[in-house]
Amino acid sequence: MSEHEQGTNRRPASPALGFGARLAAAMADLGPLCVGVDPHPGLLQAWGLDDSAAGLREFSSRVLEAATGRAAAIKPQVALYERHGSAGMAVLEGLLADAASAGVLTIADAKRGDIGSTMAAYADAWLSPSSPLAADAVTLSPYLGFESLRPALDLAAAHGRGVFVLALTSNPEGASVQHVGGDVSVARRIVEAAAAENAGDPVLGSVGLVVGATVGSALEDLGIDLAALNGPVLAPGLGAQGATGSDLKVTFGAAYPQVLGTSSRDILKAGPSVEALVEAIGRTLDGLR
């Protein structure tokens, strides 16, 4: 068992550049793709792997190998590691550490959100360089109020890391909360609050948003100007959920250069071989370019 699997690994010291600047460089170099690392039980089975910590480890290792030097970032889905308890979380710690060693940016898809000291604890877990779970960025839920995320916003800024705040999701239920308010919708207020965090950043800010690739005309309908965000937009939904690179260009318009398209199942179904995953990553990138 490696050092990180024993829970003793610690991430490197805080990077000199902010997350937004590092992500912008990776997107310019490799293309605007984030590969989701989603070890669903069905995928593990399809790959001939056990639904166990050992299966998670092998799955994660192959995806990271395929993504290294080819994708701007990877996005492990935290819940699919949590379901295996401490053994699964040890695998996630290992993946984050190995990605850091390989120079691959990581976005922990944890969707955390709370208030006060609890939010501060979540921030420490996912963003503090002293934590074995520290990623380059983490997804956050703002539905206790955007300012409830302050501990994570401040800690990310202090350590050169980033956050992606849920703004417009593509699930049908999302509109019942996010669209409320019309011209001053909940989603629009979240976008404007994130833009204020990035104000004055000369490159790309480190406070990003999650906007589903399949939200269609919602941005226009709600009067949302994502180009003014001055930060990255994580757009899940490529491939398996039906969105194409061409769809993203239409949906995001002037903000498209800030968009990090995310594909999980459409790439992962090409496994289990690393070579097949590499080919799937290449096809997805071709569509985005």
Say whether pLDDT at 18 is over 70.
Answer: yes
Dihedral sign of CA atoms 212, 143, 233, 228 in order: positive
Residue 138's DSSP bridge partners are 108, 163
Q: Which helix (H) or strand (E) holds 69?
A: none
Residue 37's DSSP bridge partners are 76
pLDDT at 216: 87
Q: Which residues contact 191 (CB under 8 A, 6 or more apart)?
A: 167, 209, 224, 225, 226, 229
Rounded to an integer, the average pLDDT of 105-119 is: 98
Q: Which residues contact 145 (CB under 8 A, 6 or more apart)?
A: none
Query: In terms of CATH, what superfamily is 4-288?
Result: Aldolase class I (3.20.20.70)
Dihedral sign of CA atoms 174, 179, 184, 187 in order: positive
Rounded to an integer, the average pLDDT of 234-256 is: 86
Rounded to an integer, the average pLDDT of 61-71 is: 98
Q: How many CB atoms lie within 10 A of CB 176?
A: 8
Annotated catalytic residue, options 75, 111, 249, 269: 111
Paired tokens of 113: 């959100």
Give percent of the chain above pLDDT 90.
83
**pTM as predicted:** 0.94
Which tens digit of pLDDT belongs to each residue from 21-46? 999 999 999 999 999 999 999 999 99
Paired sense of beta strands 259-263 and 233-236, if any: parallel
Q: Evaluate whether 207 touches 199 at the Cβ level (below 8 Å).
A: no
Residue spans per domain, the chain: 4-288
Q: Cα(223)–Cα(219) distance, rounded to whole angstroms?
A: 6
pLDDT at 106: 98
Catalytic annotation on 249?
Answer: no
pLDDT at 13: 57
Say whether pLDDT at 267 is over 60.
Answer: yes
**In which band, very low, low, confident or very high, does the pLDDT at 240 lie, cut at 50, 70 and 90?**
low
Say whether pLDDT at 191 is over 60.
Answer: yes
CA 46 to chain centroid: 24
Residue 140's DSSP bridge partners are 112, 165
Which one is predicted more confidently, 4 or 99?
99
Q: Phi/psi zone of residue 230: left (φ > 0), alpha (ψ -120 to 50 degrees), beta?
A: left
Q: Cα(50)–Cα(32) distance, rounded to whole angstroms?
A: 32
pLDDT at 245: 83
Which one is predicted more confidently, 123 or 238?
123
Q: Evaluate whether 219 touches 247 at the Cβ level (below 8 Å).
A: no
pLDDT at 14: 66
Which one is predicted more confidently, 49 or 183?
49
For every residue of 176-226, DSSP letters joined together read HHHTTTGGG-HHHHHHHHHHHHHTT-SS--SEEEEE-TT-TTHHHHTT--G
